[in-house]
Amino acid sequence: MARIGMVNYINVAPIYEIWKERSFPTHWQVIEEQPSRLNVLLAEEGIDMGFVSSYAYAARPERYQILADLSISATGPVGSVFLFSELPPESLDGQRVLLTRQSDTSIRLVKIILEEFYRVRPRYTVGDAYNEQTKEGAANAVLAIGDDALRLNAEQRYPVQLDLGEIWFKTTGLPFVFSVCAVREAFLADQAEEARQVRQALVDCRQQGALRMAEICDRVARRIPMDCETCSRYLMGIEHDLTPIKIQALERFFQYLIDRGEAPAGALPLKIFR
Ligand SMILES: C=C(O[C@@H]1C=C(C(=O)O)C=C[C@H]1O)C(=O)O
């Protein structure tokens, strides 16, 4: 039995649309959920491996390993992780910023960006990013990820839209790794071969997906909804590898987390499973 977590956004479509066409052992079970839920499932042993927030690994490094050559990442603008704001970021000191409850990585990244890069200290609340504006006393800025962020971006509800992948890249010169594919150490202890096979299957699907991008966009764009061309531009910007520069990028992010007291020192060095 291998229970595999899959993010329920279109950002994994280049892998998952191919996966769904193939036949795999019946004891491989995929669980589709939003990232913060997958993080809880991995921690509570409800899944064995899968895409989780990169923060989830940093928070419990003794319990997981990172599957080699897989991620959800971007080198520059990511297109689906935005701080949507009424005000420029420099003016957010003391203002209310709402953080989506679907994320564990981007909610930490936005704090690094606002507090360390822009030197402002907003007041944070947690909630539903997509429905925030309809509420009374709405926040001045909203962090959204995934399909919600794609929808808010298309609707142009906010005058300022900060792409967190872009700001991170401009400041550090590095890609950003939003999600890693993690596996529980306890699962590896007796089913390492199974984990190896799942990893290889995911990598194979990714390679196939890259060749069939137009068709994949055609299938998933309506879920947002967005037009095929915009979808294609978006999915071409989402990367699913974990090259040495991405490892370096993860290390930089984790060092920020450690320095800010948001992750244990044991988050580094990274443990990569091949
Ligand atoms: C690029 C994205 O990366 C995501 C962001 C995550 C997070 O902030 O915790 C987790 C998984 C990814 O789906 C996105 O959702 O748009």
Number of domains in the chain: 2
Q: How far out from the chain centre does Cα 199 lie?
A: 18
| Whether residue 265 sits in one domain with residue 181 | yes
Evaluate whether ipTM surpasses 0.95: yes
Q: Of all protein residues, whose CA lies closest to atom 4 belonging to ligand 1?
A: 178
Q: Specify whether 53 is located in the same domain as 123.
A: no
Instruction: Tell me, in angstroms, the distance from the centre of ligand 1 to residue 106's CA.
Output: 7
Residues 13 and 144 in one domain: no
In this structure, the residues whose C-beta lies within 6 A of any atom of ligand 1 are 7, 9, 11, 35, 53, 72, 78, 80-81, 103-106, 145-146, 149, 178-179
Amino acid, single-letter form, for residue 237: G
Do 107 and 166 share a structural domain? Answer: yes
Looking at the structure, do residues 251 and 123 belong to the same domain, yes or no?
A: no
pLDDT for the residue numbered 224:
97
Q: Are residues 189 and 68 in the same domain?
A: yes
Helix (H), strand (E) at residue 234: helix 228-237
CATH number at residue 257: 3.40.190.10
SS3 category, 264 = coil
Residues 67 and 120 in one domain: no
Residues in the chain with pLDDT < 50? Answer: none
Q: Ligand 1 atom 15: the closest Cα is on which residue?
A: 146
Question: Of 146, 172, 198, which residue constitutes the final position of a domain?
Answer: 172
3-class DSSP state for residue 263? coil
State which of 172, 205, 224 marks the end of a domain.
172
Identify the pLDDT of residue 100: 98
Residue 269 CA, ligand 1 centroid: distance in Å: 22
What's the CA-to-centroid distance between 166 and ligand 1, angstroms? 14
Q: Ligand 1 atom closest to Cα of 56?
A: 9
Predicted pLDDT of residue 137: 78
pLDDT for the residue 7: 98
Do 260 and 192 have their domain in common? yes
CA distance 232 to 227: 9
Domain end residue (candidates: 172, 191, 216) = 172
pLDDT of residue 120: 98
pLDDT of residue 134: 75
pLDDT for position 190: 95
* In a shared domain, residues 45 and 88: no
Range of the domain at 24: 2-75+175-273
Within this chain, do residues 8 and 128 fall inside the same structural domain, yes or no?
A: no
Cα 144 to averaged position of ligand 1 atoms, centre (Å): 9
Q: Which of 32, 54, 100, 103 to mutate to test the pocket of ligand 1 (most atoms within 8 A of CB)?
A: 103
Same domain, 102 and 157: yes
The sign of the dihedral angle between the CA atoms of 70, 76, 79, 84 is positive
Q: Which of 106, 143, 226 to mutate to test the pocket of ligand 1 (most atoms within 8 A of CB)?
A: 106
Cα-based distances in Å from 189 to 21, 40, 44, 198, 244: 30, 21, 17, 15, 26
Compute the distance from residue 28 Cα to the ligand 1 centre, in Å. 23
Neighbours of 7 (CB within 10 A): 26
> Is residue 166 located within the same domain as residue 233?
no
195, 184 Cβ separation under 8 angstroms: no
The reported pLDDT for the residue numbered 135 is: 75
